[in-house]
Every structure is written in C-alpha cells, then in structure tokens.
C-alpha cells in the first residue's frame, strides 16, 4: 500500500485579484521503498507539492490519501497527529531552538506526544548517534557546524519513527562537501531503516542519487521516471 497517494491535487494562491496555481492536477503515489526527488527550477511547484504531501497545506482540489485514509475530511487536530506520528520533516533552514541542546531539540518531537521524559532523552540520544553526532547531545546549535545542525534536524525528523521523511532543499545552505556527507547519511538511513524519502530540490547532487525523479514545470508534474544513476537535471 502506498504511504501517500495524491489524485489530481491543485493548490491555488490568490494574490490580490490575481490567482496563481502553485500546483496543478498532481497525481502520484509514494511507496515504502521510495528515495525520490521532486526536481525543477524555482517556482515550479516543488515546495507546494511537498507541503501538500506532508499535510502542512490543504489542496483546493483533488484527493490525498495517507496510508489508505482520505485525509481531506480530517480536522486540524487529526492532521497534526498524523504529522507528528507518521511524517518527518527536514527544512532548508534547520529550525532548531537556539536555547536548547541538540538532544532537547530532537526530543521536542517526542515531548509533544507526551512520552515519558526518560524515554524522550534515550531516543533522542539514539537518534543523534544514528546521524553521527554521538557525544554532541549537550551542545547548543551555536556550538555546532552548519552540517551538524542539519544532522540534528534529521535526527529530530527520524526520532518519531515516521513512515516517510520529506526534505525541502536540505542541502541549499551547505557547502558541497558538507552536502555530500548529508546525502551519504540519507542514503544510509534509507537503506538501514527502510524509511521512504522524498526531497524537493534543484540540486544536481540530490537528483543524481535519487532512485526516482519527478520533474516539475510550471506547477505540473512534467515527468515521473526512474532517475539515471549519476545523471543530473536536463
């Protein structure tokens, strides 16, 4: 069964008296073994589609199923529960809380689920260890490098054991060497943990590693095909 299935999703933005389609009639499914990228230039609809798939936004038209359930009729409380328990997010900006330690930033994803404090701490430290940050649990974000901060964000996304992880331009603010290390980490986590990954990016480094490439143009899915290993955007 698909984790996420979109059928004819359309999202319209209203700018004064004008309307702009962020995404138009998008139809796709994301399975448990995906390592996929939504590729395309700025303004093609990548982030809009990712936000719809992650239940951060609602479509104006179309249907979205999450693990077989039609989520269109769910209220915000139920949508929020699904996001907390089944979806992990990594954003371009790591969005860490500066006054909290790395472990506390990761544990936040569990605190909001009202899990016991000891379990939150244990799982947060385990998640940090999984992303190569063992021993840095007590450091605050300002004592970490850009790459380390993004790895904390990945640990936070994974600590809740999601079915799918959505990453919006995760390498955009990183230098090429740090970005390469982060992509190595994503591949290892995908392989070892079986988490489905969907990226939105125009970074050729991400596109070249994806197993599936959905190319967007002007708010539409222009093509959906297995990515050629080592290939970039055409």
State the pairing for strand pair 35-39/212-217.
parallel
125-144 residue pLDDT tens: 999 999 999 899 999 999 99
Residue 15, domain member (yes or no): no
In the predicted structure, residue 216 carries a pLDDT above the cut 90:
yes
Domain that holds residue 92: 32-60+74-225
Residue 231, domain member (yes or no): no
Around 47, how many Cα atoms within 13 Å sit in the side-chain half-sphere? 10
Mean pLDDT on 82-95: 88
The phi-psi region of residue 232 (left if phi > 0; otherwise alpha if psi is between -120 and 50; otherwise beta) is beta
111: CB partners within 8 A, 6+ apart: 120
6-33 residue pLDDT tens: 999 999 998 877 888 899 999 999 999 8
7: CB partners within 8 A, 6+ apart: 27, 62, 63, 64, 65
Q: What is the pLDDT of residue 227?
A: 59
Residue 5, domain member (yes or no): no
Q: Which two tokens stand for residue 59?
A: 């479509």
Residue 133: CATH number of its domain: 3.40.50.300
Residue 233 pLDDT class (50, 70, 90 cuts): very low
Residue 230 pLDDT class (50, 70, 90 cuts): very low
Q: How far is CA 144 from CA 125, 130, 135, in A?
A: 16, 17, 12
In the predicted structure, residue 232 carries a pLDDT above the cut 70:
no
Place of tokens 């090429």: 176
pTM of the model: 0.89
Residue 47 pLDDT class (50, 70, 90 cuts): very high
Count of the separate structural domains present in the chain: 1
């Amino acid at each position: 069964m698909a984790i996420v299935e979109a059928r004819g999703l359309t999202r319209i933005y209203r700018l004064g008296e004008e309307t702009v389609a962020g995404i138009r009639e998008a139809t796709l499914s994301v399975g448990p073994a995906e390592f996929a990228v939504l590729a395309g230039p700025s303004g093609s609809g990548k982030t809009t589609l990712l936000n719809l798939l992650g239940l951060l936004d609602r479509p104006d038209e179309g249907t979205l199923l999450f693990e077989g359930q039609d989520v269109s009729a769910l209220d915000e409380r139920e949508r929020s529960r699904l996001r907390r328990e089944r979806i992990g997010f990594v954003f371009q900006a790591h969005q860490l809380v500066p006054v909290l330690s790395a472990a506390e930033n990761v544990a936040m994803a569990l605190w909001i689920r009202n899990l016991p404090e000891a379990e939150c701490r244990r799982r947060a430290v385990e998640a940090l260890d999984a992303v190569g940050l063992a021993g840095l649990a007590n450091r605050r974000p300002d004592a970490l490098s850009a790459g380390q901060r993004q790895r904390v964000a990945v640990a936070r996304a994974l600590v809740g054991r999601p079915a799918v992880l959505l990453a919006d331009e995760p390498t955009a603010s990183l230098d090429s060497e740090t970005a390469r290390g982060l992509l190595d980490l994503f591949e290892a986590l995908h392989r070892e943990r079986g988490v489905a990954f969907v990226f939105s990016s125009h970074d050729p480094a991400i596109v070249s590693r994806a197993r599936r490439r959905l190319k967007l143009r002007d708010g539409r899915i222009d093509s959906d095909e297995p990515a050629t290993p080592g290939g970039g955007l055409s």
